[in-house]
């Protein structure tokens, strides 16, 4: 049992309120750590520390110095990957085989963006008037508020923090109240990597802390990962101070299997799409669209595979699906399954788990609904759990129109051996990411983000840097002529 403190201005401090939140292990419902519940005074202090360091130290450092620290941080995260993965799996129930990979993937992101830190130059722009010299500077935005969800804290943080640091910003991070421990542990690695005090600050707590932080006049930029409802509140908060905001929100992503696909691989992709991470993944392929000619064949094999998935302790390497992350999430998923049944979808397998060995954990069995109508709630609303809606289709046009008929647009998968069809679908699908013959594959270099209600802005890839930089234009008159003060010079 560890009692954590806030990390502000390079110091580990008690929260101003003295209150704490319990960290609950979703596998056995035991309280295994506590984290401080920050209040506005803590947030004020964190924003002030980030501002001070930005103005006095960090923005004056060379890109090379920033890159060296980021590379050290990546090395430390790799070295501590197993320990950090154990903590994250204990906090959110995600299986260790995934959390450990995510630590290395996060490290890869710090290295990728470290490579940009000393290459953020602008451009010289030729103008019509040769007497004018015009060039751009790419400058950090300032103090960034980074707010993340509970499903993959270290990976979600890396998506934001790596480009923010490379660009020369300082940050205040607010992890989810349901999974804060690894963000606080990560602060120890930031310290060990030699970052100046105040570059990285952590305030823990619930929505009230996030709300205060995102309305704070000392914050220059907000980046948020979480649900669309919260995203709306945050966009409103950002508008109060007119600061830019990046929103990474939910999804109801279609995974489309055509009859001409390599079916064994496609079915593996469908299983990975919805049951990995117990479906608690923004990119979950939660709608499986299957061409009618292979519908029964795909369904039979899918259900067979779903029933074989090993549920258990997320810390055991053999476990394939752990519990869902917390009690409210468990209750939401159970409600949604019930709603699917009420609306007339056919529950083929899954639901709650009766296994006595798992009864203290928040377990939901891999759940498959068949013959789902595209307009049903389970095919429209994000469930964020291991619940798959399988929808048959007859033609390519019909598949595209069903795929695009939700409010979301985060990701989409296409399984086909037909090259032209793959490219047609890549263009026709309204999503920030289209995977062809793969699903749930990530790369530090590949931009990621949503369209429609899945949010705006991009993470990863060089596109992410733009979210944390401001372009300044500099224009210099090289001539020595006097000029007419009442007309614009071009
Ligand atoms: P959530 O929106 O409930 O909470 C996310 C974070 O926002 C938490 O830190 C929370 O404390 C904070 N928060 C809540 N209310 C706030 C407010 N009024 N002002 C400021 N901060 C506030 O989401 P969640 O339940 O933690 O995560 C699940 C959601 O996250 C799903 O919708 C999922 O799709 C989405 N998600 C998206 C991505 C992506 O990259 N697109 C990745 C992971 C999760």
Of 490, 481, 469, nearest to 136 by C-alpha is: 469
Q: How far is the CA of 112 from the centre of ligand 1 (A)?
A: 25
Query: Of all atoms in ligand 1, which is nearest to the CA of residue 211?
Result: 19
Answer yes or no: is pLDDT of 489 > 90.
Answer: no
Residue 73 above 90 pLDDT?
yes
Task: Give the pLDDT of residue 359.
Answer: 87
Residues whose CB is less than 8 angstroms from the CB of residue 261 and which lie 6 or more positions away in sequence, other chains included: 294, 415, 416, 417, 437
Instruction: Compute the distance between CA of residue 46 and CA of residue 44 in angstroms, rounded to an integer.
Output: 6
| Arithmetic mean of pLDDT over the chain | 97
Query: Which residue's C-alpha comes closest to atom 39 of ligand 1?
Result: 248
Q: What percent of the chain has pLDDT over 70?
A: 100
Per residue in 364-384, pLDDT (tens digit) is 999 999 999 999 999 999 999
Residue nearest to ligand 1 atom 31, measured at CA: 227
Per-residue confidence band for 442, with pLDDT thresholds at 50, 70 and 90: very high
Mutate to test the pocket of ligand 1, among 178, 212, 227 (most ligand atoms within 8 A of CB): 227
Q: In the structure, what pLDDT confidence band is assigned to residue 357 with cuts at 50, 70 and 90?
A: confident
Query: Which residue has the least CA distance to atom 12 on ligand 1?
Result: 207
Q: Is the pLDDT of residue 354 over 90?
A: no
Atom number in ligand 1 closest to CA 284? 34
Confidence band of 355 (pLDDT split at 50, 70, 90): confident
For residue 137, the model assigns a pLDDT of: 98
Give, using CA atoms, the residue closest to atom 9 of ligand 1: 176
Mean pLDDT of 122-145: 97
Residue-by-residue DSSP string for 44-96: HHHHHHHHHHHHHTGGGS-HHHHHHHHHHHHHHHHHTHHHHHHHHHHHH---H
Q: Mean per-residue pLDDT for 253-270?
A: 98
* Beta-sheet pairing, 287-291 with 387-393: parallel
Q: What per-residue confidence (pLDDT) applies to 352? A: 85
* Residues 109-128 pLDDT 10s: 999 999 999 999 999 999 99
Question: Whose alpha carbon is nearest atom 38 of ligand 1?
Answer: 282
Of 431, 321, 386, 379, nearest in space to 94 by CA: 321
Calculate how far, in angstroms, residue 334's C-alpha sits from the geometric centre of ligand 1.
20
Confidence grade of residue 314 (pLDDT, cut at 50, 70, 90): very high
1 exposure class (CB count in 10 Å sphere: 0-12, 13-18, 19+): exposed
In angstroms, what is the C-alpha Rg of the chain?
24
Whole-number pLDDT of residue 110: 98
- Sign of the C-alpha dihedral, residues 86, 92, 98, 99? negative
How confident is the model over 456-468, as a mean pLDDT? 98
Q: Which atom of ligand 1 is nearest to the CA of 227?
A: 32
> Residue 190: how many CB atoms within 10 A of its CB?
23
Tokens of 242: 């007119």
Ligand 1 centre distance from Cα of residue 225 (Å): 5
Q: Which atom of ligand 1 is nearest to the CA of 410?
A: 41
Best probe residue, ligand 1, of 43, 106, 149 (max atoms within 8 Å of C-beta): 149
Report CA(316)–ligand 1 centroid distance (Å). 28
Q: What integer pLDDT is reported at residue 80 of this predicted model?
A: 98
Give 202 Cα–ligand 1 centroid separation in angstroms: 17
In angstroms, what is the span from residue 217 Cα to ligand 1's centroid? 22
Is 154:107 a contact under the CB 8 Å cutoff?
Answer: no
Residue 483 pLDDT level (bands cut at 50, 70, 90): confident
The region, left, alpha or beta by phi > 0 then psi within -120 to 50, assigned to residue 99 is alpha
**8-28: average pLDDT:** 97
The alpha carbon of 55 and the centre of ligand 1 are apart by a number of angstroms equal to 30
pLDDT tens-place string over residues 209-224: 999 999 999 999 999 9
Measured CA to CA, the distance from residue 151 to residue 149 in angstroms comes to 6
SS3 label, residue 261: coil
Banded pLDDT at 490 (limits 50, 70, 90): confident
Residue 282 annotated to the active site: yes
Cβ neighbours around 26 below 10 Å, total: 28
Q: Which residues line ligand 1 (CB under 6 A)?
A: 147-151, 156, 174, 176-177, 206-207, 210-211, 214, 225-227, 230, 233-234, 248-251, 282, 382, 384, 410, 450
The protein residue whose alpha carbon is closest to atom 8 in ligand 1 is 176
Pairing label, strands 364-370, 346-352: antiparallel
Exactly one of 248, 382, 459, 467 is catalytic; name it.
248
Q: Is 196 exposed, middle or buried (0-12, 13-18, 19+ CB in 10 A)?
A: middle
Can you give the pLDDT at residue 360? 93
Q: Which atom of ligand 1 is nearest to the CA of 214?
A: 20
Average pLDDT over residues 318-346: 96
For the cut 90, the answer to whether the pLDDT of residue 1 exceeds it is no
pLDDT score at 379 = 98
Catalytic residue among 88, 282, 320, 467: 282
Q: Is the pLDDT of residue 63 over 90?
A: yes
């Amino acid at each position: 049992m560890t009692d954590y403190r806030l990390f502000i201005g390079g110091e580990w401090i008690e929260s101003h309120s003295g209150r704490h939140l319990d960290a609950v292990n979703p596998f056995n419902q035991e309280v295994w750590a506590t984290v401080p519940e920050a209040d506005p005074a803590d947030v004020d202090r964190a924003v002030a520390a980030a501002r001070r360091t930005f103005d006095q130290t960090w923005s004056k450092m060379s890109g090379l110095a920033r890159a060296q620290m980021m590379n050290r941080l990546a090395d430390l995260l790799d070295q501590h990957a197993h320990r950090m993965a154990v903590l994250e799996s204990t906090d959110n129930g995600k299986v260790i085989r995934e959390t450990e990979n995510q630590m290395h993937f996060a490290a890869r992101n710090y290295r990728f963006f470290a490579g940009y830190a000393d290459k953020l130059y602008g451009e010289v722009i030729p103008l019509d008037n040769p007497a004018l010299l015009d060039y751009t500077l790419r400058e950090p935005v300032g103090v960034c508020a980074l707010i993340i969800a509970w499903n993959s804290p270290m990976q979600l943080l890396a998506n934001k923090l790596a480009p923010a640091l490379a660009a020369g910003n300082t940050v205040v991070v607010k992890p989810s109240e349901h999974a804060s421990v690894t963000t606080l542990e990560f602060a120890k690695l930031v310290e060990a990597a030699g970052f100046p005090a105040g570059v990285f600050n952590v305030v823990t707590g619930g929505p009230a802390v996030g709300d205060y932080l995102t309305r704070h006049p000392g914050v220059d930029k907000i980046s948020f990962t979480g649900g669309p409802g919260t995203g709306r509140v945050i966009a409103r908060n950002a508008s109060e101070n007119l600061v830019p905001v990046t929103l990474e929100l939910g999804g109801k992503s279609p995974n489309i299997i055509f009859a001409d696909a390599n079916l064994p691989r496609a079915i593996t992709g469908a299983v990975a799409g919805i049951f990995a991470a117990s479906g608690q993944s923004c990119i979950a392929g939660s709608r499986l669209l299957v061409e009618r000619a292979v519908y029964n064949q795909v369904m039979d094999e899918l259900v067979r595979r779903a029933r074989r998935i090993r549920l258990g302790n997320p810390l055991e390497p053999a476990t394939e699906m752990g519990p869902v992350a917390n009690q409210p999430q468990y209750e939401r998923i159970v409600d949604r399954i019930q709603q699917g049944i009420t609306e007339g979808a056919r529950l083929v397998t899954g639901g709650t788990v009766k296994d006595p060995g798992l009864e203290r954990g928040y377990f939901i069995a891999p759940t498959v609904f068949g013959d789902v109508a595209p307009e049903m709630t389970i095919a429209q609303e994000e469930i964020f759990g291991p619940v798959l809606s399988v929808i048959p289709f007859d033609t390519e046009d019909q598949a595209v129109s069903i795929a695009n008929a939700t409010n979301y647009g985060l990701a989409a998968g296409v399984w086909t051996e037909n090259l032209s069809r793959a490219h047609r679908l890549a263009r026709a699908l309204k999503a920030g990411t289209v995977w062809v013959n793969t699903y749930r594959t990530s790369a530090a270099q590949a931009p990621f983000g949503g369209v429609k209600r899945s949010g705006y802005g991009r993470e990863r890839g060089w596109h992410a840097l733009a979210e944390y930089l401001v372009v300044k234009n500099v224009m210099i008159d090289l001539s020595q002529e006097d000029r007419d003060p009442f007309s614009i010079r071009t």
